[in-house]
Chains A and B, each alone.
Chain A
Amino acid sequence: MRMACMLAILLTALLAPCARAATPPTHVTGKLLADTSAIQPGATFTLAVTLTIDPDWHIYWTNPGDSGTPTQITFDLPTGFTAAPVQFPLPIQFNQPGDIVGYGYRNAATFTARITASSELPLGQNFTLKARVSWLCCKDVCIPGSTTLDITLPSADQPTPANAALFKQAAAAMPIAAADDPNFAGKMIAMKPIADHSATDVSLSLQWKAPPVKVEVFPTAVDNLEISALKISAPAFHTQISFTVRLLAAQKLKSSDLPLLIVYIDREGVRHGFFLAPQLAVDTSLLSSPHEFETATH
């Protein structure tokens, strides 16, 4: 017995440095927090995953851009709990040599998800909630990383709010619906219909109630469509956004909606963002029919 024990210690001592050496630094650390002190049966609360990224390194948004991989978060929850889709905060753009555009985060990013607890939850017990997070972290090289974060909360009838400052800050960094943005006054799209697989110019104009200081556009990932030559006019009551869209050779478009995230900085220096989905004019022969789409997905 003592022999086996000594052997185990020896093995651990031998293996530990190897195991440590085999794991490269990931440059990202994570934390999982809840906006509540306890879980009330059947109630909805919010979980936040905060990732802290080493200076000069970046991770990616839902649409990583020309390269990279989206950051992924999935939850491992007690029976009867459900999670709404993870909300990604407003990204920033990275421009790399060779016209390579990336969308993501530097320094830190907080992702949130609404969680609904089981209504059958017994009171006075502890429950552990887990978030599995994976990312690609890049600087001069890219390093994939992943971690599982957990938080244990008691179940109680009268929970109190927790981490209020962090959740307030996280909510302020989230995109909202265009209709909910108090400064956005309307949009207009002008383009010739996409009739073939060559580049088509699109002109999108946004109207504001107060001119923003800066406007940015983040296309969400649309299958088979290349968006390039993005230009944004100087801030005014109207922002003129021009870009080209090009269907990949021999491919069709699944939907004429072009979901974009519009980000603007107001005169107080606050960054806001909302989703907008202007409709592209496209020849019906270049749209995959609903039937074809169904066949393709099943």
Chain B
Amino acid sequence: MRNLSILVTLVLAAAALYLTSARAADTAADTAAIGAAAPAFTLDNSDGKPVSLADYKGKTVVLEWINKDCPFVQRHHAAKTMENLADKYKSKDVVWLAINSSSSATNDIDKKTVETFSLNYPVLNDSAGSVGRAYGAKTTPHMFIIDKEGKLAYKGGIDNDPQGTKANRTNYVAQALDELLAGKPVSTPETKPYGCSVKYAK
């Protein structure tokens, strides 16, 4: 009888554990779903000053996962893909933030990233990877747009040209920003991102 009750307890414990882990996975998948509230965060910029998503309430926010050593990031920054967009939409209440979720991220490395690419926006330090994981950031670059209501409006690649060889490419971020600023629904709210893997802490 005692053995039976131990067995029952074990089975229940295992079931509870299974349910908890399944629910945790579901939550993670839902967190960064299109139309859902974008995960809140506070991270240091390269000067060590905290930057919160909440600071930009009522504005459109673009998040760019970055790693200065990644050739995909280097290609886009050599072409000024992100800087030009950040500049273009600055006057329209669009805030551009880069996030470095590499386990090796430091404020110094982020400062060097800003200098190397002459960025006109900050790089935030997420060396713990918690913000990257909350958004499900997989690649550098991986782009997210948060609308004025704080909901996720776009996630995916910067454009439809992973190899960087197309003559006519669609920049999904520019397209989504144009649609959002015109009060239209985003026609392509999710695409498969491309790039290097985000080098998260183990």
Contacts and interface: CB of A to CB of B under 8 A. Distances in A.
A262 B101 CA distance: 33
A99 B101 CA distance: 14
Contacts of A142: 70-72, 196
Given A69-B162, A69-B163, A136-B71, A97 B187 contact: no
Given A98-B132, A229-B25, A67 B200 contact: no
Contacts of A97: 103, 129, 199-202
A136 B139 CA distance: 14
A68 B162 CA distance: 9
B122 interface: no
A223 B72 CA distance: 21
Contacts of B71: 136, 142-144
Contacts of A14: none
B199 A140 contact: yes
B190 interface: yes
B73 to A, nearest CB: 10
A67 B195 contact: yes
A230 to B, nearest CB: 12
Contacts of B34: 249-250
A251 interface: yes
Given A96-B200, A100-B200, A250-B188, A141 B70 contact: yes
Interface string B6-44: 000000000000000000010001000111000000000
A133 interface: no
Contacts of A138: 196-197
A182 B100 CA distance: 49
A91 interface: no
Contacts of B162: 69
Contact of A66 (B72, B163, B197): B197
B138 A66 contact: yes
Given A69-B162, A229-B25, A100 B197 contact: yes
Task: For chain A, give the interface size range.
Answer: 20 to 34
A68 B194 CA distance: 7
B190 A68 contact: no
Interface string B45-72: 0000000000000000000000001111
Given A66-B197, A69-B162, A140-B199, A100 B138 contact: yes
Interface string A10-30: 000000000000000000000
- Among A67, A99, A141, A199, the one with the most B-chain Cβ atoms within 10 Å of its Cβ is A67
Interface in B87-125: 101, 103
Contacts of A68: 196-197
B190 A249 contact: yes
A249 B133 CA distance: 19
B163 A248 contact: no
A99 B156 CA distance: 16
A7 to B, nearest CB: 33
B191 interface: yes
Contacts of A143: 71
A98 B200 contact: yes
B198 interface: yes
B138 A67 contact: yes
A102 interface: yes
8 contacts: A67-B194, A96-B197, A97-B103, A98-B129, A98-B197, A142-B71, A248-B191, A249-B33
> Which A-B residue pairs are the 10 nearest by beta carbons?
A98-B200, A67-B197, A249-B190, A97-B200, A249-B34, A248-B190, A142-B196, A249-B189, A100-B197, A66-B138
